Structure 1
Amino acid sequence: MSRILKSIRNFFNTTIGFFVLVIILYWITTLVVYNVDFSLGVKGGMQTFLLIVNPIPSGLLLFGIALYFRGKLSYWLMLIIDFLQSTWLFANVLYYREFSDFLSIGIIKGTGDVQNNLGKSMMEILHPADFLIYLDVLVLILLLVFKIIKIDYRPFKYRYAIGITLLSILLMGGEYSLANSDRSGLLTRTFDNNYIVKYLGLNEYAAFNAYQTHQESSTRAKAKASDLNSVKKFINQHQTYPSVKYFGKEKGKNVFIIHLESFQQFLINYKVNGQEVTPNINKFYSDQHTISFDNFYHQVAQGKTSDAEMMLENSLYGLPQGSAMVTYGSQNTFQAAPAILDQKGYSTAVFHGDVPSFWNRDNTYKSWGYQYFFDSNYYKKKASYNVGYGMKDKILFRDSIPYLEKLPQPFYAKMITLTNHYPYELDKQNVSFPALKTGDSTVDPYVQTAHYLDQSFGEFEDYLNKSGLMKNSVIVLYGDHYGISNNHRPAIAKLLNKKSVNNYDLANFQKVPFMIHADNLDGHVDHTYGGEIDVLPTLLHLLGIKNNNMIQFGHDLLGNNPNQIVPFRDGDFVTPQYTKIGGTVYDSKTGQDLKLNKEQQQQVDDIQNYVTSDLSLSDRVIYGDLLRFYHPKGFKPVNRKDYNYKPKNAMEQLDKADKEHKTDLIDQHGGKSTVPMYHTDAPELK
Structure 2
Amino acid sequence: MKKKLSSILKSSRRSIALYLTSNRLFFAYVVLALIGTILIRNFTIGSPFSFKPLISDLGAILLIGAFGYIKKTKKRYKYYLTCLIIFTIMEIVNSVYYTFYVSFSSFGELASLGQVKTVTGSLYEKFKLVDFVYILIPITFCYIHRKINSTYYYDIIKKIEVRKKMVLCTILTSLLCFSYTFITATRTDYSRLAKQWNRVYIVERFGIIVYQTNDLVQSLKPKLSSLFGYEESAKLFHEYFDNMSEEEKYNGKNEYTNILDGYNVVLVHMESLQSYLMDVSFNGQDVVPTTKKLASEGMFFKKFYPQISTGTSSDTEFTLASSLMPASSGAVFVSYYDRNYITLQKLLKQKGYYTFSSHGNYASMWNRDKAHPSLGYEDMFFEESYEYTDADVINLGINDEKFFEQLVPKLENIEDTHPNYMGTVITLSNHSPFIFQDKYGEYDMSTTYIDENGQEKKTNYLDGTSVGNYITSVHYADKAMGQFVDYINKSDHFNNTIFVFYGDHDAKLTRKEINYLYNYNPKTGEEYEEGDKEYKEYSYYDHEMNKNTPLILWTKNPTLKKKINKQINYTMGMYDVMPTLGNMLGIENKYALGHDIFNIKDDNVVVFPNGNFLTGKVYYNNSTGEYYVYNNSVIDDEYITKYKDYAEKLLDVSNSIIVHDLIYKEGTDIDVLKNDSSKENNNE
Q: TM-score, with normalisation over the residues of structure 1?
A: 0.84
Letter paired with 1:637: N
| 1:6-28 Cα shifts (integer Å, max 9, x gaps) | x99x9799551111112212222
Q: 1:126 to 1:78 in 2, by over 3 A?
A: same
Instruction: Tell me whether 1:143 sits opposite 2:153 in the alignment.
Output: no
Q: 2:238 matched to which residue of 1? A: 229
Conserved in 1, the CA contact under 8 Å of 2:237 and 2:653?
A: no
- Pick one of 506, 512, 515 that aligns with 2:552: 515
Gaps of 5+ in 1: 1-6, 645-686
| 1:455-498 Cα shifts (integer Å, max 9, x gaps) | 1110010111111445321111111111134x333533643885
Conserved in 1, the CA contact under 8 Å of 2:54 and 2:207?
A: no
Q: 2:543 matched to which residue of 1? A: 506
Q: 1:656 matched to which residue of 2? A: none
Q: Counterparts in 2 of 1:536-685, with a 5 A limit?
A: 536-547=578-589, 550-559=590-599, 561=601, 563-582=603-622, 583-590=625-632, 600-629=636-665, 630-632=667-669, 634-635=671-672, 636-640=674-678
Q: Counterparts in 2 of 1:65-464, with a 5 A limit?
A: 65-114=67-116, 116-118=117-119, 120-145=121-146, 147=149, 151-153=153-155, 154=158, 155-180=161-186, 185-188=191-194, 191-215=197-221, 217-221=223-227, 223=230, 228-233=237-242, 237=246, 238-287=248-297, 290-329=298-337, 331-407=338-414, 408-434=418-444, 437=461, 441-464=465-488
CA-CA distance at 1:345 after TM superposition: 1.5
Separation in 1, partners of 2:144, 2:386: 57
Letter paired with 2:260: E
Separation in 1, partners of 2:188, 2:677: 49
CA-CA distance at 1:151 after TM superposition: 4.3
Instruction: Tell me whether 1:530 sits opposite 2:566 in the alignment.
Output: no
| 1:605-633 Cα shifts (integer Å, max 9, x gaps) | 11222222212111111111012223526
Conserved in 2, the CA contact under 8 Å of 1:338 and 1:368?
A: yes
Letter paired with 1:136: I
**Aligned residue pair count:** 620
SS of residue paired to 1:612: helix
SS of residue paired to 2:577: helix
Separation in 2, partners of 1:546, 1:562: 21
Conserved in 2, the CA contact under 8 Å of 1:366 and 1:643?
A: no
Task: Compare 176-185 and 63-72 and name the one that shifted more.
Answer: 176-185
CA-CA distance at 1:512 after TM superposition: 1.4
Q: 1:478 matched to which residue of 2? A: 502
SS of residue paired to 2:572: strand
Conserved in 1, the CA contact under 8 Å of 2:606 and 2:613?
A: yes
Letter paired with 2:664: R
Letter paired with 2:85: F
CA-CA distance at 1:369 after TM superposition: 1.5
Letter paired with 1:20: F
Q: TM-score, with normalisation over the residues of structure 2?
A: 0.84
Separation in 1, partners of 2:422, 2:244: 26
Q: 1:41 to 1:564 in 2, by over 3 A?
A: farther
CA-CA distance at 1:430 after TM superposition: 2.9
Q: 1:13 to 1:53 in 2, by over 3 A?
A: closer
Task: Compare 271-280 and 449-458 and name the one that shifted more.
Answer: 271-280
Q: 1:48 to 1:468 in 2, by over 3 A?
A: farther
Separation in 1, partners of 2:661, 2:602: 28
CA RMSD across the alignment: 3.0
Separation in 1, partners of 2:152, 2:266: 70
Separation in 2, partners of 1:388, 1:118: 11
CA-CA distance at 1:637 after TM superposition: 3.3
CA-CA distance at 1:32 after TM superposition: 2.2
SS of residue paired to 2:466: coil
Q: Percent identity?
A: 24
CA-CA distance at 1:554 after TM superposition: 0.9
| 1:84-111 Cα shifts (integer Å, max 9, x gaps) | 1111111222222222221212101222
Structure with greater helix percent: 2
Task: Compare 212-221 and 23-32 and name the one that shifted more.
Answer: 212-221
Conserved in 2, the CA contact under 8 Å of 1:12 and 1:21?
A: no
Separation in 2, partners of 1:182, 1:608: 12
Conserved in 2, the CA contact under 8 Å of 1:235 and 1:552?
A: no
Separation in 1, partners of 2:596, 2:313: 22
SS of residue paired to 1:50: helix
Conserved in 2, the CA contact under 8 Å of 1:227 and 1:626?
A: no
- Pick one of 465, 471, 480 that aligns with 2:489: 465
SS of residue paired to 2:50: helix
CA-CA distance at 1:113 after TM superposition: 2.6
Q: 1:187 to 1:525 in 2, by over 3 A?
A: same
Q: 1:58 to 1:633 in 2, by over 3 A?
A: closer
Letter paired with 1:508: M
- Pick one of 472, 488, 496 that aligns with 2:511: 488
| 1:255-286 Cα shifts (integer Å, max 9, x gaps) | 11111111111112321344210001111111
Separation in 2, partners of 1:181, 1:628: 32
SS of residue paired to 1:404: helix
Letter paired with 1:512: T
Conserved in 2, the CA contact under 8 Å of 1:70 and 1:156?
A: no
Conserved in 1, the CA contact under 8 Å of 2:222 and 2:336?
A: no
SS of residue paired to 2:571: strand
Separation in 1, partners of 2:433, 2:187: 41
| 1:2-59 Cα shifts (integer Å, max 9, x gaps) | xxxxx99x979955111111221222233223212x1x2659xxx8333544432221
